[in-house]
Amino acid sequence: MMPWLTILALTPVVGAAVLTVMPRERGDDAKAVNLAKIVALGFSLLTLLVALLMLIDYDRDVSGYQLTEKHTWIAPFGASYAVGINGIGLALILLTAILTPIVILASFNDKIAGRRSFNSYFAWMLVLEGLALGVFAANDVFLFYVLFEATLIPIYFLIGSYGGPTRSYAAVKFLIYNLVGGLLMLASVVGLYVVSGKEGTPSYMISDLAALNIDGDTGRWLFLGFFIAFAIKAPLWPLHTWLPDAAAAATPGTSVLMVSVIDKVGTFGMLTLCIGIFPEAAQWAAPVIIVLAVISVIYGALLAIGQNDIRRLIAFTSVSHFGFIVLGIFAFTTTSTVGSTLYMFTHGLSTAALFLVGGVLISRRGSAKISDFGGVQKVAPVLSGVFLLAGLSSLSLPGLAPFVSEFLVLAGTFSVNIPAATVATLGIVLAALYILIMYQRIMTGPLREDNAHIKDLHPREMAAFAPAIVLIVGLGFFPQPLINVIQPAVDQVMVHVGVSDPPPKTPTTIQPDTEQHSDTEGAHE
């Protein structure tokens, strides 16, 4: 069998290596810069092609892991290079492969700090893509941890070397938060190795660890180590504070890869590792986690309403959206879990479009402050239309992709936890406020004189946005193909946890009125 997952993860890494050894631009050497951009885009498109070819060998009706590979890696530790995917991992791999070329194409005109090299800029993006693909395919906990931590390196340099004036502070804050989470996860990884050794042969394989009978207290402590690391990555309130600073300092492309792809590792880990290995501990912690998720939904939305910085506003909207995703995962219903997994994909698309079109606005105007805009739709109607579509997608307008996933999360949660679902529903109302207020202040009203120079989207930028827009609209009307991929894997998770969906609360049969029936018979006699 073709080692599709290894080829997939290595393709962007090879592209990064090629960019590293290529001649770098000197002075105003536009030819070298353009060549680096083309090579980066070419390798990202090649990665997408490999991902699409991989689909040929993937059986959508199988619930278990497919396209598996396993090789001994560090024998004394019992660690293996083991990869494989189910429907959940496949959805996130496709998201990563789709967004990376969009980001690279949209980043062609990025203004980077100092005299940094575009070769390195795009090389770090490709390295980040390769690591993300590896994380979503890892079947060995030790391999997952190594790749999980390795994703910090390219993001740190993308923010710290190529971001805005506050890039150093934001990069260090991002790194500290995530390193603390990583250390907690490492403690739990070591604990799992010890527990598996007591049960027999030490192993880091997720399938072996999921079959262990872990003591209640031990399992709960180990669960918390993983969960806190994933809650920081996700990000979940109150561990979210690194995100607005990082998003405000990073370039738009970096923000997309960070929020739409890498932050999904947090919710992916909750679903596959926290629940997959510690089902009892996950149910024990679920009530508290649901409260935190609901707070994230409302808190993120309220803070988004009060922002005057476009990038920070979008970052806080993601805190709210991740609250929905976590809520659906820990509601423990098939409907909510399918919705959460679908939300990971659709949120990635809508947030990518919003960050990138926001980046175009900021670059054109030279300011990220919403108060500096006004009347932009008069001089840039296409830009205004794309911004509106991205915003409506973010607020989950019916007919756009996030609506279906958000509806499934709330519908599944309502069946088991009406108070949590009711409060979370308020997040939809608040989303309409922060998106429409932002659009009104930026795009409508009289045209300010200092906005008259803003140009509309040109063909390359339109080509970058087009795939995301097509998917946002297409999945809004017809999400079933992606749901069919996700459903078997979610069903397997629910069986493993031992949770079944609650029966419908409406009567399914009508009891005959026996008293009335006998009276009728007596009358006939």
**Concatenated DSSP letters of 404-416:** HHHHHHHHHHHTT
The most confident of 101-115, 326-340, 495-509, by mean pLDDT: 326-340
- Stated as kind and residue range, the H or E segment containing 161 is helix 152-162
pLDDT of residue 523: 44
Residue-wise pLDDT for 191-224, tens only, equals 888 888 877 777 788 888 878 888 778 889 999 9
Q: Identify whether the C-beta of residue 363 lies closer than 8 Å to the C-beta of residue 111.
A: yes
**For the chain, what is the mean pLDDT?**
86
Residues in Cβ contact with 81 at an 8 Å cutoff, skipping those fewer than 6 apart: 69, 70, 71, 72, 73, 140, 143
pLDDT of residue 132: 94
Residue-wise pLDDT for 417-426, tens only, equals 899 999 999 9
Written as one letter, the residue type at 344 is M
Q: What is the pTM of this model?
A: 0.88
Residue-wise pLDDT for 88-134, tens only, equals 999 999 999 999 999 999 887 777 665 677 788 889 999 999 999 99
pLDDT of residue 115: 62
pLDDT of residue 90: 92
What is the distance between the alpha carbons of residues 219 and 275, in angstroms, rounded to a whole number? 11
